Amino acid sequence: MVAGSPGDPGGPALRSKRGATPRCGPGGGGGEKGEKGGATALDSAFRMLARRSYTEAELRSRLERTWDSPSVTAALSRLAELRLIDDPAWAERFAVDRFERAGRGRHRILSELVARGIDAELAAAVVGRVIDPAREREYARIQLASLLGHRTGRTGLTERIDRGEGAATGDAGERELAAAFRRLVARGFPAGLIRDLLGGS
């Protein structure tokens, strides 16, 4: 094969170095575990972020599957300078989406933020800003009425819950109430809020 041809872009000099462990130079961005085509950790990060957004922890975890830790740290620092990773902003967008669109409660959203690598203190602060208690109660009430109405087949149950009369006055059996309670807890609504709605107190 002719050195420098498309099938062998590096020529003899590059072939003699293949198999050596790549090292990151002073400028950063190298250091891939199995370097390919001169790409850098930052290049990989750009490609990933072009597909969807990530928290810093998520991006680090994915990049470190291929790149060494110093290269990943340097890439993340550059991305932060460019505001392409911003955990506070990411967490707020995520919380709004999960609350407004998915109708999830504060506990579920908090646990999901932490699971995605958001600092627990930051996650709690974001949830406190995003979730209005009155609206959370409204969402829980709507979902409770839907769950019990579906299970019992009693369409008047929604109206009773909406009037704040509760659902523990013969509208549904104990098993239906317990099942609805578990579903709403799993969706992240506070247990005390659900009991209040069920009892109408």
Please choose, from the candidates 130, 157, 125, 131, the residue with its C-alpha nearest in 3D space to the C-alpha of residue 144.
157
CA dist 38 to 42, 85, 128, Å?
11, 24, 45
DSSP line for 51-83: H----HHHHHHHHTTTB-HHHHHHHHHHHHHTT
pLDDT at 166: 56
Q: What does the pLDDT look like over 101-119, one tens digit per residue?
A: 999 999 999 999 999 999 9
pLDDT at 147 over 60: yes
What's the chain's average pLDDT? 80
Confidence of residue 34 (pLDDT cuts 50, 70, 90): very low
Lowest mean pLDDT among 73-82, 94-103, 192-201: 192-201
**Vertex 132 angle, CA 190 and 116, to 5°:** 65
- How many helical (H) and strand (E) elements, i.e. helices and strands, does the chain have? 11, 0
Q: Is the pTM of this model over 0.75?
A: no
Domain boundaries 39-85, CATH class: mainly alpha
pLDDT at 6: 41
CB 55 within 8 A of CB 89: no
Please choose, from the candidates 201, 200, 190, the residue with its C-alpha nearest in 3D space to the C-alpha of residue 157.
200
Q: What does the pLDDT look like over 151-183, one tens digit per residue?
A: 544 555 556 665 555 554 455 577 888 899 999
Cβ burial of 70 (10 Å; 0-12, 13-18, 19+) is middle
> What sign for the dihedral angle of Cα 124, 119, 104, 186?
negative
* Domain definitions of the chain by residue range: 39-85, 87-130, 133-199
